[in-house]
Structure 1
Amino acid sequence: METKKHPYDPYFNVLTPVLVSKVEEFIVLGYGEVNKHDLWLFLTKKKWKKHKEGIRMYELVSDVLSLNIGEFMNFITVEAFKSPNLLSDLDSEELQELLQPKAE
C-alpha cells in the first residue's frame, strides 16, 4: 500500500521526544499498546488533515501535548474497523480472547 506524504512529515524526527513523552503519558494511563507511529498517524490523518502553510514548531508541539486519549482511541477504533483484514490478522487464540467477556 502506498502511503501519501504529509507536508509535516519532515518534522517527525524533531517531534520524536514530544511524541515519546505523550506515549509515556498514555502508558501511565494504562494504554500500553500506543506507540509514536500511531500518534503520528492520528496527527497527520485527523488533527493535521488540513495543513497550514508556515506552521511554527511550537504549534506542532502544542498539538501533540494537547492530544487526549479519548480522541486518539476513537480514531484508532474507526481505523481498525476500516481495515479489511481486521479479523483475519488475528490468530484463533486472539479472536477467542476478544470474544470472551471480561471478568471484573
Structure 2
Amino acid sequence: MEKSHAYDHFRTLVKPALASKLSEFQILGIDSVSESSLWKYLQKKKWKKVKDEIYLHEIIQDILAVKVSNYMSFATIEAYKSPVFSLENENEWKQLLK
C-alpha cells in the first residue's frame, strides 16, 4: 500500500480541475485515463519534490498544465515496469507463441 502524499488533502477540492483535464484527454481520443491514474502521475512527476507551503491555485495550475504526451510517456513507462504476465507459466508461453 502506498503512503499518502502531502497534497492528498487537496484532491477533493480539485476534482473539477481533474474532471476538466480528463475531458480534454477524452476529446483527444484517450478514454482509458482515470482520475486516480492522473493523480498518480501528478504525485510521481509534478509533485516529486513537496513544497512546505503550496496554495490551491498552484495545484490547479499543475493539473491543467498536464500535457497529454507527457502523461502518455509516463503511463507507457509504468506499464513496462509492472509485468502484465509472467512467462513462468507454460500456458502463457503457448499463448504468446500462437
Instruction: Provide, for residues 21-72 of structure 1, a one-character-per-residue CA deviation record: whole Å limited to 9, x for no partner.
Output: 1000000000011111111000001110101111011111000001000100
How far did residue 87 of structure 1 move?
3.3
- Aligned AA for 2:43? T
In the alignment, structure 2 segments of 5+ residues that lack a partner are 87-91
In 2, the alpha carbon distance for the partners of 1:63 and 1:23 equals 14
Q: Which residue of 2 aligns with 1:27?
A: 26
| Max Rg structure | 2
Q: Which residue of 1 aligns with 2:17?
A: 18
1:5 CA drift (Å): 1.1
Q: Kindly tell me the number of residue pairs found equivalent between the two proteins.
A: 89
- 1:54 aligns with 53
Task: Give the structure, 1 or 2, with the largest relative contact order (CA under 8 Å, sep 6 or more).
Answer: 2
TM-score calculated relative to the size of structure 2: 0.84
What code does the residue aligned with 2:13 have?
V
Unaligned runs of 5+ in 1: 97-104
Poorly superposed stretches of 4+, deviation over 2 Å: none
* Residue among 68, 87, 94 paired with 2:85: 87
TM-score using structure 1 length: 0.79
Instruction: Report the secondary structure of 1:51's partner residue.
Output: coil
Aligned residue in 1 for 2:72: 73
